[in-house]
Amino acid sequence: MKLLTLNFLTCAVKTCKSSSDSFPLHPKDAELASDDVEVNPELLVNLLPRLDWKALKTTSAEVFLPSCIYPLGFPQLPDSPPTIEQLQSDDKLLKDLHSLLMETNLMEGKLVCGVCGHEYAVREGIPNFLLPSHLV
């Protein structure tokens, strides 16, 4: 699962959704893999206004903690989202974003809700959000 997708996922438990702490989910014991994906600048630029930048910063910081060995290094993101014009004119930022959002995959590990603490397993790049009956 691409890190991009984490920007659109939250806890599946109904009562957690009203709390802002349920987003983003926190990766735990994350194993990452890097893919070779063709850069699609147009898609990235168009996606920019749909991203939750603060959540993206959180995710990228958590996923690249020293415990997670990542051969490509830690792509640094600016504190506030770039404007569309800035992104279009900044090749390095575009490449960093592409690498982070499109090429970095969460392969194994867990996604943890900051409210209820439930851990969703991620196996072979596929997260499982089916809830045990007591959480439905």
Answer yes or no whether residue 28 interacts with other proteins by CB under 8 A: no
Binding piece for other proteins, criterion CB under 8 A, among 31-39, 58-66, 67-75, 87-95:
31-39
Vertex 105, ends 103 and 107: CA angle to 5°?
155
| Burial (0-12, 13-18, 19+ Cβ within 10 Å), 30 | buried
Candidate list 29, 46, 56, 77; residue touching other proteins; CB under 8 A: 46
Across 64-73, b (16+ Cβ under 10 Å) vs e yields beeebebeee
Answer yes or no whether residue 107 interacts with other proteins by CB under 8 A: no
Answer yes or no whether residue 42 interacts with other proteins by CB under 8 A: yes
Candidate list 21, 29, 35, 91; residue touching other proteins; CB under 8 A: 35
End-to-end CA distance of the chain: 24
CA distances from 13 to 5, 9, 108 (A): 18, 12, 22
Nearer to other proteins, 16 or 75 (CB): 16
Nearer to other proteins, 20 or 76 (CB): 20
Site residues for other proteins per CB under 8 A:
1-2, 4-5, 7-14, 17-18, 23, 35-40, 42-43, 45-50, 52, 102, 120, 124-131, 136
